[in-house]
Amino acid sequence: MSLGSGAVKNDYLNNVAFFLCYTGTLTDVNYAGSDSVVSASEQFDYYNTVLPSLGDIPANVWGDLIQVPFAATSVTVAFNNPDVAALPNGIEISSSELAQVFAGQITDWQTLDPALPSKPIVVVHRADGSGTVEIFTRHLAAIEPTLFTTDKDFLSALLITAGPFLSANGSSGVVALTNTVDGAITFVSPDYVDPSDDDTVARITNQNDSTAYLPTGVNVAVTVNSVAPPTGAAAADALNWAPSFANPTAGYPIVGFTFQLLRECYDAPVATDVLAFLDDHYSGDHDVFITEGNLIPLPTAWDNAIRARFVFSPATKINNASCP
């Protein structure tokens, strides 16, 4: 079952399948996937809150919180403006212009490219909280901090009064709405669009290398390869396995990770299955499926670091000797 990252993290951090449950019976949550980074406050709550599903047992009966990248992802800027097809390289938008568009300060397509006919820009955004919103607003906040802060909710991230905008729930909802409105623009995960189609997806200019990139796998890989996995004492903190690509030095500039949220300790049968899955995934066995979903397989350095620490290390692997 697929949900927005906000709902997924809620169920994982509280160990109750409230949003994920569709059988009528609440169950424990062994793992989850999310584009949204676990925050310091959420990590604190994980270690200090009594979970409803466990009665009076503290949350960390399951050991350390584990947050590791599953794949790399981008946030694509999709649009519905047939006039763009006449441009030789599609529409190129700087990150600053992008922030101004989604803050309602740039309102006409001709402002973005004088070769385009004048047409109102119609902003479409996610109505629900999501990791896609978080990745997108993290970048906009790094570029235009007076307009945006980082948040899973788009309107909460917007620091000025703007609009009216259109909204829909989920990636499929915003794409469907955008496709019905001439002049609409939105942001969405790459699995709902063709990242290489510059008639429907914008090229975003990285201000650090002055290059306009489509959100293709090659361009996203350039961004991800610029950050190494944590080592030494830093690797013990789950937050360090979630680096920020808020304003990368090169590559497509709106990039993040899709994360696996796991626990250090499981019942033995579950641990066996989780360890086998991690070994397969970070050995590259699932790369073809990742690519088919328009996500980007992790660089080898990240794969090796995750397998070494969480699959093979006697002291830090899942269900190590310190687990009850």
* pLDDT 10s digits, 171-220: 999 999 999 999 999 999 988 999 999 999 999 999 999 999 999 989 99
In a domain, 207, yes or no: yes
Give pTM, 2 decimals.
0.80
- How sure is the predictor about 24, in pLDDT bands with cuts at 50, 70 and 90? very low
Is 183 found in the same domain as 154? yes
Question: Which of 175, 195, 214 is where one domain is finished?
Answer: 214
Residue 151 located in a structural domain = yes
pLDDT at 222 over 50: yes
Question: What is the per-residue pLDDT for 8?
Answer: 55
Q: Are residues 205 and 102 in the same domain?
A: yes
214, 242, 263 — which closes off a domain?
A: 214
37 inside domain: yes
Instruction: Identify whether residues 18 and 33 lie together within a single domain.
Output: yes
- Using CA atoms, how far apart are residues 290 and 281, in angstroms rounded to an integer? 10
CA–CA gap between residue 279 and residue 231 (Å, rounded): 19
- pLDDT at position 37 is 83
Same domain, 183 and 277: no
CA distance 219 to 224: 9
User: Domain tally for the chain?
Assistant: 2
At which of 182, 214, 246 does a domain end?
214
CB 4 within 8 A of CB 130: yes
Q: Which residue has the higher pLDDT, 263 or 232?
A: 232
> pLDDT band at 135, cuts 50/70/90?
very high
Q: What is the mean pLDDT of residues 241-267?
A: 91
Q: CA separation (Å) from 158 to 125, 183, 248?
A: 12, 21, 22
Are 81 and 200 contained in the same domain? yes
pLDDT reading at 302 higher than 60: yes
Closest CA to 139 of 255, 225, 294, 226: 255
Judge if 135 and 181 occupy the same domain. Answer: yes
Q: Which pLDDT score, from 0 to 100, does residue 100 have? A: 98
183 & 105 share domain: yes
Domain housing 169: 74-214
Euclidean distance between CA atoms 254 and 246, whole angstroms = 7
Q: Are both 40 and 24 inside the same structural domain?
A: yes
Q: For residue 1, name the pLDDT band (cuts at 50, 70, 90).
A: very low
Most confident segment among 2-16, 35-49, 58-72, 236-250: 236-250
Same domain for 59 and 86, yes or no, is: no
Q: What CATH number did the domain enclosing 29 receive? A: 3.40.190.10
